[in-house]
Amino acid sequence: IGHAVAVIIFMLGLGTLLPWNFFVTATQYFNERLSVNVSAISCNGSAPVVMTTDYKFDSWMAFLSQLPLLLFTLLNSFLYQVRESVRVAFSMVAISFFFCLTAALVHVPLHPDNFFSVTMATIWFINMFGAVLQGSLFGLVGLLPPRYSTVFMSGQGLAGIFAALAMLFSILSNADKSLAALGYFITPCVATLGTLLCYLLLPRLVSDTSWGNIHGGGQRGSREILQIHRKKERNHHFH
């Protein structure tokens, strides 16, 4: 069971960063959607004038991804009043929703201004819920023996590798940009839901074994630590 717990912790680490890594990989798709030429009638009513807008997508994406990450990482110190299970589950469901929304817009024609606004809002909310999710899971993993922190961060590292391999595969296969983007957005939806299932399975595994016996030593077992953590969280919630 100890190995099963390690696999779940690894999957939790993978699921925290894989969605955003895949989103960033699709920047070429976003820039192409925003570079559509818009025709306008000239002042003298003659031939239409082709107009393009420089949205500075990459700069705005960097800003609107890091700002909520910073703010809500700090706010995690005050979100302990909300039960951990609620924070984690709600964040994962919200991230899946925004990726499904982004995937649904791939084949929906939108004016570049509207598309830019929707995409910027999506970037903000994905990173906002991502910050809450990461903070909550790091708090949970911190209750476990130190080796699980290494396993968790290894999963986060693998998320970037998966995104890079996905981009390399799409380039080598010469896939259509819209089709590749659809894959970039659907994959995080499936991965996030899988991560949620792993999180829901973790307490069941913990309750089925005494981690203190598995890992040995004179430390307090992780099962006991988690039980105390859950009990305090429930008591605080009721008060």
Domain presence at residue 86 = yes
% of the chain with per-residue pLDDT over 70: 78
Domain presence at residue 9 = yes
HEC profile of 73-86: HHHCCCHHHCCHHH
Look at residue 23 and tell me whether its pLDDT is greater than 80.
yes
Domain presence at residue 233 = yes
Whole-number pLDDT of residue 221: 42
Q: What is the pLDDT of residues 27-74, one digit of tens each?
A: 989 998 998 655 544 455 555 555 667 889 999 999 999 999 999 988
Q: What is the pLDDT of residues 151-199, one digit of tens each?
A: 999 999 999 999 999 889 888 888 788 888 899 999 999 999 999 999 9
Average pLDDT over residues 138-153: 87
Domain presence at residue 38 = no
Residue 166 to residues 9, 93, 162, 169: CA-CA distances in angstroms? Answer: 23, 23, 6, 5
Please report, for the domain that includes residue 168, its CATH number: 1.20.1250.20
Q: What is the pLDDT of residues 200-210, one digit of tens each?
A: 988 777 655 44
Confidence tier at 236 by pLDDT (50, 70, 90): low
Pairwise pLDDT comparison (133 vs 237), residue with the higher score: 133
Q: What is the chain written as a DSSP string? A: -HHHHHHHHHHHHHHHHHHHHHHHHTHHHHHHHHT--EEEE-TTSSSEEEE-----HHHHHHHHHHHHHHHHHHHTTTGGGS-HHHHHHHHHHHHHHHHHHHHHTTTS---HHHHHHHHHHHHHHHHHHHHHHHHHHHHHHTTS-HHHHHHHHHHHHHHHHHHHHHHHHHHHTT--HHHHHHHHHHHHHHHHHHHHHHHHHHHHHHHTS-HHHHH-SSSPPHHHHHHHHHHHHHHHHH-
Q: What is the mean pLDDT of the chain?
A: 81
Domain presence at residue 47 = no
Q: Do residues 24 and 102 touch, judged by C-beta distance below 8 A?
A: no
Based on the structure, what is the number of domains in the chain?
1
CA-wise closest residue to 234 among 89, 88, 85: 85
Domain presence at residue 188 = yes
Whole-number pLDDT of residue 176: 82
Whole-number pLDDT of residue 173: 85
Residue 205 to residues 3, 90, 109, 200: CA-CA distances in angstroms? Answer: 11, 22, 47, 10
The first and second tokens of residue 215, run together, are 């890992």
Domain span at residue 177? 2-33+54-238
Domain presence at residue 43 = no
Domain presence at residue 107 = yes
Whole-number pLDDT of residue 77: 77
Confidence tier at 128 by pLDDT (50, 70, 90): very high
Whole-number pLDDT of residue 216: 39
